[in-house]
């Protein structure tokens, strides 16, 4: 009995002291593998928080709660095997959900209790649970629609287009839309947007679920190059370049690295993975590139050379979409040095455009890519500063098109505080 | 700070254990326990720690005054007792009920007669106030000696394992242990085992049930219909039991590690066959407090029937309002009071004659509607939920079965049910009987104190003369139990690291 008590107490006390041991090792400069520390979990839990409890170790720091917050963050940063813990906990919960689903046979089920990401084994993919068409969502659609109308009327010399990128929540035949009452479908959203006054043009972007399975990543919310190119063709048609669209020469698939995107991260499920696809084009124009005011190059927007050389981030949950194409910037300017037109384009977009802005830019002299989430100026202000923009196109998925940042970007300059 | 948080599990508690056991003298350990308890309390609410310190000093001084004021019947003793009781209740009343009182008075008068100060509720105030009251009254009654050392009294009132959610430890429970407790390896290991059991109940069972309960209880009855309302209350029924009893297990376990023997707080309440029995098994230390410090002083059951009914309803009204400053808690308390009276005068004789399963079903219905009153805030919402449970909004309301998510918990229902049943003490007794070579030994009820709440991991075959040839099997079972407990700890730690959902329901009281 004594040996049993000693063993149990020793093991549990060791577990209690795990983070302290990791913290001491880090403090002592011992290089620990990332899987043993909390480093691998950085992408899963939203990153490591910088924590310095010593800086707040005072009566004032304690009274304000800053010391406590820093201490809690510091302990969280030292939890051993944190990524394994996160994934294993979700796997345990998922196994209980799967056991329950034997009785019900749902096509999709949550990846853990409370998760908005669902697993669809028959398609080997993860999806987002459909959003509900609540009154507040309908109001948001109405506000953005009216904002677009008003914006279009203030700029009669420019053509304004809107392309709503479908996603797993609203695509036609979305399996999760069938499971939720009053789901916000692509068609429903489109119908509400089409009640506009004609100051902008809506480009239908809906796809069938079969097209979706080919053109969208399995474990990430972004489209792949196939879905993006299909959208590009529709946009090019609406913009008047339907007979002059780019023709891909070859489809490149990067088998490495495996891509576990937002759904895998948020759903804590590693059963499926994607791979980066990209098109090669025969005669692609040369661009000079400026990113947030600094000089860049096309290699800053499409990192194919890195992938050809086998250079990528070590974390399994790195967003390969952002790594291969590029992360989100406030303003990118692409100048087509070979253009035979003086028309300029403004793309107002979220990350959906990261893989395809170069395709549209091939048809214009100068293309501006503005992300309202990262650039706070209104579009009125932008157009006042950048003359010669003939076309404006919004390329976003629903959560970003209906976000406050988009409403603010559309507001008249005088309305901005 | 909650027990099931990374900061407590991986920093505060190991640091406390290291400091506590590094102290060579009991006096120093008592002071270390007080200091860590105050830090524990101040962690979330730095300002209210002064309220706690003030309460400690006030009760220490008034108890000294009571003890030095002459004979038990002396007027000064009564005066100091009255002062202490009023002061403690005033602290509780002001911080817990000021807003409730102001809202109701203003609603009756139709004007802003009393300002609602919107005070934040100091964590654990309901618990430490009752503990202080038991000390004061017991000193007055001469049942315990006055504690002259304010640090020791502070340690008792502020002791972090049971500070914020019980069990309500009376001073008499630990009076001897303050000066004479012995921390042993066996006690330490037993405490750790119980801590693991409690942590697993809280993190693996209560929190999981809580995800469903919170999601459904936040919705309108008309939206989720019968299935949503039923599964919401059912999930809450399991959540509150595993949450609260898990917390109590952890508290008792930590006390055990230090050599304290806290009273048991739960004895498998969902196995009760009547409302009366349920309250002998649920939050036992609260029931004991109201019995000994309210009900019996009011005359108990040695009074006329009308007076008995009034006494009973006073106790249950107080029990309800103690849980929270809202009418639904008062209604909840009165609900149980009325049921207990009905059982005493009418139903109990009938229940005794009925088969066991019928009385269990009766009780399940009582628990269910009791927790409905407890969990659903607002009397109009309670009415809507009750209507939904009688089919007013159909099976699903305006939702789909899938989105209610109740279906995904079907596989966990057997685990929740098994976790609520006393299989562990049953198996322990069976195993002990087998080990002794007595296969006919009767299964006795678990005793009511401290570690009897522990499953077979603890006292298994301690003090039992093991029959020849059976020691190896017992050793193997013991080892398996310990492995299972370490696994529970690891799984719980994984869930804590993963989850931002970690409320302790009883913190709000």
The partner residues of A393 in beta bridges, in order of sequence, read A161, A347
Same domain for B173 and B217: no
Rg (CA), chain A: 25
Nearest residue in A to B191, CA atom:
A9
Report residue B234 as tokens: 């059912």
The number of beta carbons lying within 10 Å of the beta carbon of residue A81 is 21
Question: For residue A47, what pLDDT is reported?
Answer: 61
How many angstroms away from the CA of A247 is the closest CA of chain B? 44
Which residue among A4, A68, A100 sits closest to B411, beta carbon to beta carbon? A100
Does the bond joining A12 to the residue before it have cis omega, within 30 degrees of 0? no
Name which of A16, A24, A49, A269 to mutate to probe chain B: the one with the most chain B Cβ atoms within 10 A of its Cβ: A16
Which residue among A5, A19, A104 sits closest to B407, beta carbon to beta carbon? A104
B410·A13 Cβ contact <8 A: no
Q: Which of B181, B214, B241 is the last residue of a domain?
A: B181
A82·B479 Cβ contact <8 A: no
Q: Is the pLDDT of residue B341 over 80?
A: yes
Total tally of structural domains belonging to chain B: 2
Average pLDDT of span B388-398: 95
Q: Is the pLDDT of residue A94 over 70?
A: yes
B487-499 per-position pLDDT tens digit: 999 999 988 887 6
Prediction ipTM score? 0.88
Residues from chain B contacting residue A115 (CB–CB below 8 Å): none
Q: Is the pLDDT of residue A256 over 60?
A: yes
B74-124 per-position pLDDT tens digit: 788 889 999 999 999 999 999 999 999 999 999 999 888 888 888 888 888
Q: Which of B412, B435, B469 is the last residue of a domain?
A: B412
B28-68 per-position pLDDT tens digit: 999 999 999 999 999 988 889 999 999 999 999 999 999 88
Q: Which of B397, B412, B427 is the last residue of a domain?
A: B412
Split at pLDDT 50, 70, 90, the class of B444 is very low
Helix or strand holding residue B132 (H, E): helix B125-141
- Phi-psi category of A277—alpha, beta or left, where left has phi over 0 and alpha has psi -120 to 50? beta
Same domain for B210 and B161: no
Catalytic annotation present for B283: no
How many angstroms away from the CA of B10 is the closest CA of chain A? 5
Q: Is the pLDDT of residue B4 over 90?
A: no
Which residue among A82, A92, A109 sits closest to B497, beta carbon to beta carbon? A82
Same domain for B339 and B195: yes
Same domain for B201 and B118: no
Task: Name the nearest CA neighbour of B208 among B2, B422, B410.
Answer: B410
The rounded distance, in Å, linking the Cα atoms of B13 and B254 is 10
Q: Is the pLDDT of residue B304 over 60?
A: yes
Same domain for B282 and B160: no
State the residue for tokens 């607002």. Answer: B378
Task: Note down the domain range covering B233.
Answer: 189-412
Question: For residue A213, what pLDDT is reported?
Answer: 95
Q: Is the pLDDT of residue A48 over 70?
A: no
Same domain for B194 and B177: no
Alpha-carbon distance values, A200 to A148, A316, A360, A379 (Å): 7, 42, 18, 15
State the residue for tokens 């390896």. Answer: B185
Identify the active-site residue in B283, B323, B360, B440. B323
The rounded distance, in Å, linking the Cα atoms of A378 and A408 is 7
The rounded distance, in Å, linking the Cα atoms of A311 and A309 is 6
Residues from chain A contacting residue B9 (CB–CB below 8 Å): 16
Report residue A371 as tokens: 């992300």
Question: For residue B464, what pLDDT is reported?
Answer: 65
Nearest residue in B to A45, CA atom:
B498
Question: For residue A45, what pLDDT is reported?
Answer: 65
Q: Is the pLDDT of residue A12 over 50?
A: yes
The rounded distance, in Å, linking the Cα atoms of A16 and B257 is 15
Question: For residue A85, what pLDDT is reported?
Answer: 87
In a domain, B495, yes or no: no
Average pLDDT of span A367-392: 93
Nearest residue in B to A62, CA atom:
B46
Question: For residue A46, what pLDDT is reported?
Answer: 59
Which residue among B11, B193, B400 sits closest to A181, beta carbon to beta carbon? B400
In a domain, B431, yes or no: no
Question: For residue A242, what pLDDT is reported?
Answer: 81
Which residue among A6, A76, A99 sits closest to B411, beta carbon to beta carbon? A99
- Whole-number mean pLDDT of chain A? 91
Q: Is A5's Cβ below 8 Å from some Cβ in B?
A: yes
B208·A93 Cβ contact <8 A: yes
Same domain for B260 and B149: no
Name which of A51, A82, A113 to mutate to probe chain B: the one with the most chain B Cβ atoms within 10 A of its Cβ: A113
**Residue B123 burial (10 A CB sphere; 0-12, 13-18, 19+):** buried
Average pLDDT of span A119-142: 95
Least confident of A307-311, B169-173, B504-508: B504-508
Nearest residue in B to A99, CA atom:
B411
Q: Is the pLDDT of residue A412 over 80?
A: yes
Same domain for B104 and B177: yes
In a domain, B469, yes or no: no
Which residue among B10, B215, B407 sits closest to A75, beta carbon to beta carbon? B10
Coil, strand or helix: which one is B393? coil
Report residue A58 as tokens: 């005072």
B10·A17 Cβ contact <8 A: yes
A96·B211 Cβ contact <8 A: no
Split at pLDDT 50, 70, 90, the class of A215 is very high
Q: Is the pLDDT of residue B202 over 60?
A: yes
Q: Is the pLDDT of residue B504 over 90?
A: no
In a domain, B244, yes or no: yes
Q: Is the pLDDT of residue A49 over 80?
A: no
In a domain, B58, yes or no: yes
In a domain, B255, yes or no: yes
Task: For strands A109-110 and A117-120, give the pairing.
Answer: antiparallel
* Residues 6 or more apart whose Cβ sits within 8 Å of residue B384: B220, B221, B222, B392
The rounded distance, in Å, linking the Cα atoms of A196 and A190 is 11
C-alpha A331, offset from chain centre? 17
Question: For residue B378, what pLDDT is reported?
Answer: 84
Same domain for B101 and B204: no
- Whole-number mean pLDDT of chain B? 89
The rounded distance, in Å, linking the Cα atoms of A108 and B165 is 40
Nearest residue in A to B7, CA atom:
A72
Question: For residue B120, what pLDDT is reported?
Answer: 86
The partner residues of A392 in beta bridges, in order of sequence, read A160, A346
Average pLDDT of span B364-386: 92
Same domain for B314 and B244: yes
Angle (CA) A73 A74 A78, round 5°: 115
In a domain, B11, yes or no: yes
B9·A16 Cβ contact <8 A: yes
Split at pLDDT 50, 70, 90, the class of B507 is low
In a domain, B261, yes or no: yes
Q: Express as a percent the part of chain B with pLDDT over 90.
A: 71
How many angstroms away from the CA of A269 is the closest CA of chain B? 13
Residues from chain A contacting residue B6 (CB–CB below 8 Å): 19, 72, 75-76, 79
Same domain for B193 and B177: no
B5·A89 Cβ contact <8 A: no
C-beta separation of A108 from A180 below 8 A: no
Nearest residue in A to B18, CA atom:
A13
Same domain for B288 and B170: no
The rounded distance, in Å, linking the Cα atoms of B312 and B318 is 10
Residues from chain B contacting residue A72 (CB–CB below 8 Å): 5-7
Report residue B251 as tokens: 């508290």
The number of beta carbons lying within 10 Å of the beta carbon of residue A113 is 23
Q: Is A192's Cβ below 8 Å from some Cβ in B?
A: no
């Amino acid at each position: 009995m004594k040996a049993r008590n000693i063993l149990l107490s020793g093991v549990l006390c060791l577990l209690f002291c795990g983070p302290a041991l990791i913290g001491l090792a880090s403090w002592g400069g011992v290089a620990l593998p990332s899987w043993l520390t909390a480093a691998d979990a950085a992408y899963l839990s939203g990153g490591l928080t910088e924590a310095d409890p010593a800086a707040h170790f005072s009566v004032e720091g304690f009274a304000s709660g800053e010391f406590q917050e820093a201490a809690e963050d510091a302990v969280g940063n030292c939890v051993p095997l944190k990524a394994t813990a996160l994934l294993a906990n979700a796997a345990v919960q998922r196994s209980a959900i799967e056991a329950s689903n034997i009785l019900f046979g749902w096509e999709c089920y949550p990846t853990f209790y409370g998760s908005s990401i669902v697993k669809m084994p028959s398609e080997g993919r993860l999806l987002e649970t459909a959003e509900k068409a609540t009154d507040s969502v309908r109001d948001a659609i109405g506000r953005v629609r009216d904002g677009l109308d008003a914006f279009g009327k203030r700029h009669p010399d420019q053509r304004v287009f809107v392309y709503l990128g479908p996603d797993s929540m609203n695509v036609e035949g979305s399996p999760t839309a069938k499971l939720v009452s009053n789901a916000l479908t692509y068609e429903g959203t489109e119908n509400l947007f089409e009640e506009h006054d004609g100051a902008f043009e809506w480009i239908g972007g809906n796809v069938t679920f079969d097209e979706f399975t080919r053109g969208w990543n399995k474990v990430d919310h972004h489209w792949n190059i196939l879905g993006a190119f299909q959208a590009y063709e529709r946009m090019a048609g609406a913009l008047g370049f339907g007979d002059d669209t780019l023709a891909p020469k070859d489809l490149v698939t990067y088998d490495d690295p495996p891509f576990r995107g937002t759904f895998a991260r948020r759903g804590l499920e590693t059963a499926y993975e994607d791979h980066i696809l990209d098109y090669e084009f025969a005669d692609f124009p040369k661009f000079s590139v400026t990113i947030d005011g600094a000089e860049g190059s096309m290699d800053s927007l499409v990192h194919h050379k890195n992938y050809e050389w086998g250079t990528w981030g070590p974390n399994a949950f790195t967003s390969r979409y952002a790594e291969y194409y590029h992360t989100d910037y406030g303003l990118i300017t692409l100048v087509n040095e070979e253009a035979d037109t003086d028309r300029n384009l403004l793309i107002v977009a979220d990350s959906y455009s990261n893989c395809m802005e170069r395709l549209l830019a091939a048809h214009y002299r100068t293309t501006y890519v503005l992300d309202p989430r990262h650039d706070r100026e209104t579009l009125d202000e932008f157009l006042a500063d950048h003359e010669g923009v003939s076309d404006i196109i919004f390329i976003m998925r629903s959560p970003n098109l209906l976000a406050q940042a988009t409403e603010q970007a559309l507001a008249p300059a005088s309305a901005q505080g | 700070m909650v027990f099931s948080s990374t900061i407590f599990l991986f920093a505060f508690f190991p640091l406390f254990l290291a400091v506590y056991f590094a102290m060579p003298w009991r006096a120093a350990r008592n002071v270390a326990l007080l200091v860590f308890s105050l830090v524990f309390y101040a962690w979330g609410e730095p300002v209210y720690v002064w309220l706690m310190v003030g309460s400690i000093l006030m009760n220490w001084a008034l108890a000294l005054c009571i003890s030095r004021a002459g004979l038990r019947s002396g007027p000064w003793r009564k005066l100091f007792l009255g002062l202490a009781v009023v002061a403690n209740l005033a602290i509780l009343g002001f911080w817990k009920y000021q807003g409730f009182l102001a809202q109701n008075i203003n609603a009756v008068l139709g004007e802003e007669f009393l300002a609602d100060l919107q005070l934040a509720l100091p964590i654990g105030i309901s618990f430490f106030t009752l503990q202080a009251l038991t000390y004061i009254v017991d000193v007055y009654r001469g049942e315990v000696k006055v504690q002259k050392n304010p640090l020791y009294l502070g340690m008792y009132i502020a002791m972090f394992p049971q500070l914020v959610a019980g069990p309500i430890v009376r001073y008499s429970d630990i009076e001897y242990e303050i000066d004479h407790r012995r921390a042993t390896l066996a006690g330490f290991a037993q405490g750790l085992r119980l801590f693991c059991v409690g942590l697993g109940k809280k993190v693996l069972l209560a929190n999981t049930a809580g995800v469903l309960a919170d999601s459904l209880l936040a919705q309108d009855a008309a939206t989720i219909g019968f299935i949503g309302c039923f599964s919401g209350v059912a999930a809450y029924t399991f959540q509150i039991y595993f949450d609260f009893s898990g917390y109590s297990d952890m508290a008792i376990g930590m006390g055990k590690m230090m050599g304290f023997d806290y009273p048991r707080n739960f004895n498998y309440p969902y196995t009760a066959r009547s409302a009366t029995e349920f309250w002998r098994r649920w939050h036992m230390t609260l029931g004991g407090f109201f019995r000994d410090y309210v009900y019996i002083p009011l005359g108990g059951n040695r009074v006329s029937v009308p007076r008995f009914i009034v006494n009973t309803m006073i106790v249950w009204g107080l029990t309800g309002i103690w849980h929270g400053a809202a009418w639904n808690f008062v209604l909840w308390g009165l609900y149980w009071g009325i049921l207990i009276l009905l059982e005493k005068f009418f139903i109990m004789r009938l229940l005794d004659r009925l088969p066991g399963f019928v009385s269990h079903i009766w009780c399940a219905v009582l628990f269910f509607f009791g927790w409905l009153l407890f969990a659903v805030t607002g009397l109009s919402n309670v009415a809507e939920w009750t209507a939904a449970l009688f089919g007013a909004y159909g099976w699903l309301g305006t939702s789909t079965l899938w989105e209610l998510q109740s279906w995904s918990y079907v596989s966990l229902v057997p685990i929740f049910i098994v976790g609520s049943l006393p299989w562990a003490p049953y198996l322990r007794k069976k195993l002990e009987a087998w080990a002794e070579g007595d296969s006919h030994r009767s299964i006795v009820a678990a005793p009511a104190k401290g570690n009897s709440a522990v499953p077979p991991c603890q006292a298994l075959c301690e003090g039992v003369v093991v029959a020849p040839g059976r020691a190896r099997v017992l050793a193997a079972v013991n080892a398996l139990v310990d492995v299972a407990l370490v696994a529970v700890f690891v799984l719980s730690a994984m869930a804590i690291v993963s989850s931002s959902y970690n409320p302790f329901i009883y913190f709000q009281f």
